[in-house]
Amino acid sequence: MVRLVYHPCAWSTEPDGTGPGECHRHAATINVLPDDIFLEIFAFCVRDPDKHPVFCMRQWRRLVQACQRWRQIIYASPRYLDLLLYCSKGTPVRNLSYWPAFPIAISYHGPYHNDDVIALLKHPDRVRLVDLSITSSQSGRKVVATMQKPFPVLTHLELYALDVPELPVLPSGFLGGSVPCLQQLHFDHIPFPELPTLLLSARDLVSLRLNSIPPTGYISPEAMVAGLAILTRLETLCVDFEFRFPPPEQRRRYPDPPMRAALPSLTEFEFCGRSEYLEDLVARLDAPRLDDFDCRMYLNRVDCLRLPQLSLFINRTENLRFRHAQVEFSNSEANIEPDWFARAHGEPELGRPHFSFSTSFRWSDNITHVAHVLRQIFAIFSNVGYLFIHACDDHPSRRYYIDDTE
Amino acid sequence: MSRRYYIDDTEWLAFLHLFTTVETLHVSGRLAGQVALVLEDVPGEMVAEVLPSLHLLLLDDDGPVESTEKFVSLRQLYGRPVTIVRKEAGRFGAWHRSKGKVP
Q: Per-residue pLDDT tens for A262-300?
A: 999 999 999 999 888 999 999 999 999 998 899 888 777
- Residue, of A57 and B19, whose pLDDT is higher: B19
CB contact under 8 A, B22 and A367: no
Strongest mean pLDDT among A319-323, B6-10, B78-82, B90-94: B78-82
Strongest mean pLDDT among A111-115, A138-142, A330-334: A138-142
Is pLDDT of A130 > 90? yes
Q: Per-residue pLDDT tens for A335-390?
A: 666 665 555 554 545 566 788 887 766 655 567 777 777 778 877 778 889 988 88
| Facing A400 at nearest CB: one of B5, B21, B25 | B5
Beta bridge partners of B65: none
Q: Residue A362: how many CA atoms within 13 Å on its side-chain side?
A: 6
CA–centroid distance for B46 within its chain: 15
B62 to chain A, any CB pair closer than 8 A? The answer is no
Give the mean model confidence (pLDDT) for residues A91-96.
76
Is pLDDT of A126 > 90? yes
10 Å CB burial of residue B94 (0-12, 13-18, 19+) is: exposed
| Facing A368 at nearest CB: one of B6, B11, B35 | B11
Q: Are B75 and B45 in contact (CB under 8 A)?
A: no
**Closest residue of A to B103, CA-based?**
A386
CB contact under 8 A, A367 and B26: no
Q: What is the spatial distance between Cα B13 and Cα A90, in angstroms, rounded to a whole number?
A: 61
Is pLDDT of B102 > 80? no
The DSSP secondary structure of A250-281, one letter per residue, reads: G-PPPPPPS--EE-TT--EEEEEEEHHHHHHH
- Residue B26 φ/ψ, nearest 5 degrees: -115, 115
Q: What is the spatial distance between Cα A206 and Cα A94, in angstroms, rounded to a whole number?
A: 31
**Closest residue of B to A387, CA-based?**
B25
Is pLDDT of A309 > 70? yes
DSSP A335: E
Beta bridge partners of A3: A14
Q: Per-residue pLDDT tens for B13-48?
A: 888 888 899 999 998 877 888 888 889 989 888 898
pLDDT for the residue numbered A373: 79
Q: Residue A194: how many CA atoms within 13 Å on its side-chain side?
A: 12
Indicate the pTM of the whole model: 0.78
- Please state, rounded to an integer, the average pLDDT across all residues of chain A: 81
Given the cut 0.85, state whether the ipTM is greater than it. Answer: no
pLDDT for the residue numbered A404: 40
How close, in Å, is residue B45 to chain A by CA atoms? 22
A381 to chain B, any CB pair closer than 8 A? The answer is yes
Is pLDDT of A1 > 70? no
**Buried-exposed string A245-270: b where 16+ CB fall within 10 A, e elsewhere:** ebeeeeeeeeeeeeeebebeebbbbb
Candidate from A51-55, A291-295, B7-11, B24-28 with smallest mean pLDDT:
B7-11
- 291-350 in A: which are within 8 Å (CB) of B? 324, 329, 341, 345
Q: What is the spatial distance between Cα A341 and Cα A334, in angstroms, rounded to a whole number?
A: 17
**Closest residue of A to B7, CA-based?**
A400
| Facing A400 at nearest CB: one of B1, B6, B22 | B6
Partners of A393 on chain B (C-beta within 8 Å) are 29
A25 to chain B, any CB pair closer than 8 A? The answer is no
**B82 contact partners, CB below 8 Å, separation of at least 6:** B54, B55, B56, B57, B71, B72, B75
Give just the sign of the alpha carbon dihedral A81, A87, A93, A95: positive
**Buried-exposed string A133-165: b where 16+ CB fall within 10 A, e elsewhere:** bbbeeebbebbbeebeebbebbbbbbbbbeebe
CB contact under 8 A, B34 and A397: yes
Is pLDDT of A185 > 50? yes
B99 confidence band (pLDDT: 50, 70, 90): very low
| Facing B3 at nearest CB: one of A341, A392, A403 | A403
> In angstroms, what CA-CA distances link A238 with A18, A114, A266, A289, A293?
51, 29, 11, 16, 10
Residue A88: strand, helix, or coil: strand
Partners of B5 on chain A (C-beta within 8 Å) are 400-402
Q: What is the spatial distance between Cα A356 and Cα A326, in angstroms, rounded to a whole number?
A: 10
Q: Per-residue pLDDT tens for A212-256?
A: 999 899 999 999 999 999 999 999 999 999 876 665 555 545 555
**Buried-exposed string A293-328: b where 16+ CB fall within 10 A, e elsewhere:** bbbbbbbeebeebebebbbebbeebebbbbebbbbb
How close, in Å, is residue A383 to chain B by CA atoms? 6
Is pLDDT of A259 > 60? yes
Q: What is the spatial distance between Cα A392 and Cα A227, in angstroms, rounded to a whole number?
A: 41
**A369 contact partners, CB below 8 Å, separation of at least 6:** A302, A303, A361, A363
Q: What is the spatial distance between Cα A154 and Cα A128, in angstroms, rounded to a whole number?
A: 4
B27 to chain A, any CB pair closer than 8 A? The answer is yes
Give the mean model confidence (pLDDT) for residues A158-165.
87
Peptide bond into A193 cis (omega under 30): no
pLDDT for the residue numbered B92: 46
